[in-house]
Structure 1
Amino acid sequence: MQVFGLPGHVIRNAGRVSRLLGAQTTTIEATRRRDAVARWRRAMKDGLSADQAAHAVGVPRSNA
């Protein structure tokens, strides 16, 4: 099907927009993991070792 009368950029970006509209929101668990990683990185930046930072954040090092 060909659409007449729409600017080319609208037609080219239609696929991108439909993917954005269909994207699912982040889960609570994903938000918790992202928060834990951010806290772990801050602890590492403050001079803690990876093990100490993971312990301070409260997650196993394998998850950080």
Structure 2
Amino acid sequence: RVEFENHLDSGEGPGDSSTYRFRLRPIIPMQINEDLNLLTRATLALRYQSSLIPGGANQFGYGDTDL
């Protein structure tokens, strides 16, 4: 199973900037024994932000990865 999260914030700062955040959250099951399963969930994040000021540079990067 894989979950996706999308967030878009717009109208920020004097340059009417926008921020887009994307998170991918796969759930990976592992069988420990016949009676016990371990579910692991990682979070992989990407972020894009347009310039906060007119004429500035846009930014793209990876966010924190959680296990």
TM-score (norm: length of structure 2): 0.19
Higher relative contact order (CA 8 A, sep 6+): 2
TM-score (norm 1): 0.20
Q: Bigger radius of gyration, 1 or 2?
A: 1
